[in-house]
A and B are shown apart, each in its own frame.
Chain A
């Protein structure tokens, strides 16, 4: 075969992702020579300005890292503070937190599955273009998303940057009748999620299984959201407090985000594929059946099929929300008291995009002296780049336009949140 001209696949500004990033894939002499997911989202230095803030402010301040998944930041921060201060939030308050997280999973997954990711498979520039030919798909997805947002708005106060979450619980308990009033919309959402799952199961998926270790939380009896051990397909099974003994971050010059690696393993994946593959047995049988009917096995390692896994998780979150509402008994108080303690504490929860780790060190007055936040997208960044290299190398016969679109799709498979990845930076220095 004659030598092909060198070319570079470049996307200056990735569309249908949260935040600002681009990609480039250089191809020379029929070989992929370099790939990069470039993150040019400006840094916002959260971990630096959190120093000196009160421990009670962490949920409101860290929520602003991401407008798409503020609940995840609120949940990881309050659990880290409670762990540090020796407080336990259980019973109905724990259930309400899980309910709030269900709302975020529904709205975030519905947004990504139908409005950001599905247009790749159906061949449209956007969901708005797609709506002209597939109006039902888009209107159903918007109704599904709205049901998730209504849940976040009721339990959290508003959809974006909820105000009702506090260290120790909530400011106000949602009235039981208001929760029950959401049941019809959640029942409809469950139907819509089933429909969405059936639809995305029909999409064509390239064969592209990845053999990276998958990392997620695992809870003794539930599909993981707010707590559990950190487990991996490579045999890791550690408490969250041991996270930093096994995972490291490094700064690469082309990126305003930090990359993560696992000790002895290198790159790894967090997110829906990891959660599903490590926790299939924690899904209720009807959801397992729906996943099987959609063509999934008990594990899934093809990032292109993450859209199917997200649809399964959306269905699960609707089911789980209905279950939590049905058994809700208002607790005696909206929160438990939490007194600050000097020391360090951490927590990890499952954001829609994967494991979100927070660690804080407090002084005796309850002021934050050090903060470390590791979002899912910075953990997945190396895997995304490897996918780009592997997938481009396997499709060099495509013309540049087609290959560019495929490379974009490789990135969108991860639902990357570039706002999260870049706004979070490690501060290893004490200011006192």
Chain B
């Protein structure tokens, strides 16, 4: 096969259980999309193109979580054909909103939902990609930040390891001079335990952070509880607050379980 100009890195985009929003973020890079398409060979990106080139791929971006037996197999094939594998978004890095099934008995959901349950193939859990294969880099967020995505792509194309900030949303509020919504308005806010990436978006809109980017590395989830309780939250409220898009991320999972009443 003619390789033409010095072979461009082959980029593949893969989807598992997800809303499509993180891969849409690539198409939402309106100012950079054509430059990106010029810098790489888009070898597999079904949402954007019919053209499919066989592996191996230099870089695979993986969206979505593992929720079916078939997908648990498919991710291994993708890993084998990818030099670098980067997960994009909360589903791929923590299991996503659909990981709420991990706290329930999904077997009871299927007949409640579908008339022909035998045709539905699903696992009891929604798990992140890293639970199944080696992941070279993870981009958090529900959805990912376009800036972080482009920054990571640029770094990888230059042979560098991407660097993401590791501080909390809370710190971003201080930097941006946003009045604390927890202290001033008494709103429940996960900003102290949530990784930045949004630039403190919700507090800048006058609402508490709800944890889109998942936990910071060593979150003081329990230390935050008295503050949240002072904001009027009860145990069931705390469970719901920690149980959204990153419900299965270890620190958030533990924090929610600590406030769950034992089944009667």
Q: Is the pair B67, A429 in contact by a Cβ cutoff of 8 Å?
A: no
Contact B100 A161 (CB under 8 A): no
Q: What is the distance, in angstroms, from A112's C-beta to the closest C-beta of chain B?
A: 11
What 1/0 mask marks residues of chain B from 92 to 111 whose CB sits below 8 Å from any chain A CB?
A: 00001110110010100100
Q: Are B34 and A49 in contact (CB under 8 A)?
A: no
Main SS of chain B's interface residues?
loop
Given contacts A16-B47, A67-B21, A429-B112, contact A131 B34 (CB under 8 A): yes
How far apart are the CA atoms of A163 and B34 in the complex, in Å?
Answer: 29
Contact B30 A142 (CB under 8 A): yes
Query: In this complex, which of B48, B52, B118 has the most chain A Cβ atoms within 10 angstroms of its Cβ?
Result: B48
Q: Cβ of B6: which chain A residues have Cβ within 8 Å of it?
A: none
Q: Mark B181-199, 1 if CB is under 8 A from A, else 0.
A: 0000000000000000010
Contact of A161 among B21, B50, B109, B126 (CB under 8 A): B21
Contact A54 to B30, CB < 8 A, known contacts A126-B49, A251-B114: no
Which residues 5-58 in A have Cβ within 8 Å of B in the complex? 13-20, 40-45, 47-49, 53-54, 57
The answer to the question of A254 belonging to the interface, with a C-beta cut-off of 8 Å to chain B, is: yes
Judge whether A218 is part of the interface by a CB distance below 8 angstroms.
no
Of B15, B101, B198, the residue contacting A20 (CB under 8 A) is B15
Inter-chain CA distance A268–B101, complex, in Å, is 33
CB < 8 Å neighbour of B34 from A16, A116, A138, A408: A138
Nearest chain A CB to B224 CB, angstrom units: 19
CA distance A45 to B42 in the complex (A): 32
Bound Cα distance from A408 to B112, whole angstroms: 33
Cβ-defined partner of B48 (8 Å) among A41, A49, A127: A127
Nearest CB in chain B: distance from A205 CB, A = 20
B207 touches A68 (CB 8 A): no
B109: chain A residues within 8 A (beta carbon): 45, 48, 427
Task: Find out whether the CB atom of B47 lies under 8 angstroms from the CB atom of A18.
Answer: yes
Q: Which of B50, B112, B201 is close to A16, meaning CB atoms less than 8 Å apart?
A: B50
- Number of chain B interface residues as a range: 35 or more
The residues in A between 161 and 201 inclusive whose CB is less than 8 angstroms from any CB of B are: 161, 163-164, 166, 171-172
Contact of A254 among B21, B24, B119 (CB under 8 A): B119
CB-nearest residue of chain A relative to B109? A48
Given A17-B47, A126-B51, A45-B113 contact (CB < 8 Å)? yes
A256 within 8 A of B: yes
Q: Chain A nearest CB: distance from B88 CB in Å?
A: 11
Say whether, besides A149-B28, A171-B207, A128 and B142 are in contact (CB < 8 Å).
Answer: no
Which residues from B are CB-within-8-Å of A428? Answer: 112
**A159 adjacent to chain B (CB < 8 Å):** yes
**Taking each of B16, B19, B109, B122, which has the highest tally of chain A beta carbons within 10 Å of its own beta carbon?**
B19
**Is B98 a contact partner of A44 (Cβ separation < 8 A)?**
yes
* Cα of A68 to Cα of B100 in the assembled complex, Å: 22
Rounded to whole angstroms, the CA-CA distance of A163 and B212 in the bound complex is 10
User: A43 contacts B30, CB within 8 Å?
Assistant: no
Q: Does B20 contact A (CB under 8 A)?
A: yes
- A329 shortest CB reach to chain B, Å: 20
Q: A412 → chain B, closest Cβ, in Å?
A: 10
Within 8 A of B (CB), among A315-334: 334
Beyond A128-B48, A161-B143, 4 additional pairs, beta carbon < 8 A: A44-B126, A57-B244, A142-B31, A149-B30
The 9 closest A-B pairs by CB, nearest first: A67-B21, A126-B49, A253-B119, A125-B51, A251-B115, A146-B30, A15-B50, A425-B113, A44-B98
B interface vs A, CB < 8 Å? 15-22, 24-25, 27-28, 30-31, 33-34, 37, 42, 45-52, 67-68, 70-71, 96-98, 100-101, 104, 106, 109, 112-116, 118-120, 122, 126, 142-143, 198, 201-202, 205-207, 210, 212, 237, 240, 244-245
A-B residue pairs in contact (CB < 8 Å), sample of 9: A40-B70, A42-B122, A43-B114, A67-B143, A111-B27, A126-B49, A139-B34, A143-B30, A423-B19
